[in-house]
Amino acid sequence: MQTIRNLGGRDRFLVAVTLLVLTCATPSQALCASSNLWVGFVAQDGIESYTSKQLKKSGMPTPTYLSTYGTASGLAFDKSKDLWVVAEEDEVVEFTPAQLKNLKNDPNPTPGVIITSTATFGQLSGCNFDHQGNLWVTNPGNSAIYELSKAQLDAGSGEITPPIVITSPEMDGSLFVTFDADGNAWLPSQFDNTVLEFSASQLTSSGSKSPTIVLSDDGSGTSLDYPEELAFDKNGNLWVPNYFSDTVVEYAKDQLTTTGNPAPAVKLSSAIFNGPWGLAFNPKGSLAIVNYRDGAIAIFTEKQIKTSGAPIPKVSLTGTHDENFQTVFGPSS
């Protein structure tokens, strides 16, 4: 086999792209080569973006600000680097890359796309893209998740009917959704302290469905205690922040195959945790955790999160607002 060094220019480029795709844990992390941290918050109706340079040392840096005309509870970048935002709990809006790059001059741009669904939307929360480029949005009030198809997103602003609506009595306060490498959807159910999986085959049609896998607390009362934004690392392990117990846990990939109450493979605690809520991985495998109560941001290196304990964050940022919500890494602003 040829080494990358010995390949021609075009082949080196293709191999590099392939390696990049393979190291992205989920479809929603297709932009994992970008390392700006984007944080939505519901208290001040907006989104903050921290550059990779600002994330290298502790302190209270001034983020770039994107004003929205309502709460920013859900954030997701598509493959074209458009930012899709759940705003005001009943609309999904899109901001273009050009608008994001111009935020320092215009922090209050008009969304390029505004999607509503009067008959369906109502109390929207987190969102994420699946493998096919469809955007899935959670509705904790209705115990449902909605698919907004890629075709509907491409069509632009308008009133739509989600082609797929999945409900389940087991979704009890499910604020977020993420996808594993096989296209299965995973959701936290905060009010009954569980994590749910709906298989990719279940996501092809509407209906009331039971999850294929349910993970419950291991009996300690701290492994799943009001779980919030979920994220997969590059090895397929699932990470969960727990709002009440101030812990962040990892379930190893082989623990995600059956229903049960396994002890997490890794459990992190830290003096900086104060209602951990948002969670995301950067391209190097470092883990960013954002508090809901005080807005503080903790960043741990990949090495620091390999085993349980109370590591001191590599970087601690004070943050500027509380009630921070969905957190993603994405392109530069």
Residue-number span of the structural domain to which 45 is assigned: 27-330
pLDDT of residue 107: 95
Region 238-242 average pLDDT: 98
| Residue 332 pLDDT greater than 60, yes or no | yes
Q: Residue 320 in contact with residue 48, Cβ under 8 Å?
A: yes
Summarised one tens digit per residue, pLDDT across range 140-152 is 999 999 999 999 9
pLDDT of residue 319: 82
Question: Hey, what amino acid is at 262?
Answer: P
Name the least confident of 40-44, 160-164, 248-252.
Answer: 40-44
pLDDT of residue 1: 35
pLDDT of residue 19: 33
pLDDT of residue 35: 84
pLDDT of residue 69: 79
| Residue 176 pLDDT greater than 60, yes or no | yes
Report if residue 142 sits inside a domain. yes
pLDDT of residue 34: 64
Q: Which residue has the higher pLDDT, 113 or 2?
A: 113
DSSP structure class, residue 76: E
Region 34-41 average pLDDT: 89
| Residue 102 pLDDT greater than 50, yes or no | yes
Region 290-307 average pLDDT: 97
| Residue 132 pLDDT greater than 70, yes or no | yes
Region 91-116 average pLDDT: 96
Stretch (H or E) spanning 84: strand 83-87
Stretch (H or E) spanning 18: helix 9-23
| Residue 14 pLDDT greater than 80, yes or no | no
Domain with 155 in it: what CATH number?
Answer: 2.120.10.30
Distances in Å between the alpha carbon of 208 and those of 128, 170, 205, 213? Answer: 20, 10, 10, 15
pLDDT of residue 45: 82
Region 75-87 average pLDDT: 96
Neighbouring CB atoms inside 10 A of 307's CB total: 11
Report if residue 15 sits inside a domain. no
pLDDT of residue 80: 94
Give first-to-last CA distance, the chain, whole Å: 40
Confidence of residue 129 (pLDDT cuts 50, 70, 90): very high
| Residue 266 pLDDT greater than 60, yes or no | yes
State the average pLDDT for the chain: 90
Q: What proportion of the chain, given as a percentage, has pLDDT over 70?
A: 90
Report if residue 9 sits inside a domain. no
Q: What proportion of the chain, given as a percentage, has pLDDT over 90?
A: 81
Question: Which are the contacts of 162, defined by CB distance < 8 A and separation ≥ 6?
Answer: 117, 120, 146, 147, 148
| Residue 201 pLDDT greater than 90, yes or no | yes
Q: How far apart are CA 207 and CA 204, in angstroms?
A: 10
pLDDT of residue 26: 47
Our count of domains for the chain comes to 1
pLDDT of residue 44: 76
Q: Residue 115 in contact with residue 160, Cβ under 8 Å?
A: yes
Neighbour-count burial of 254, counting CB atoms closer than 10 A to its CB (0-12 exposed, 13-18 middle, 19+ buried): exposed
Report if residue 20 sits inside a domain. no
Report if residue 6 sits inside a domain. no
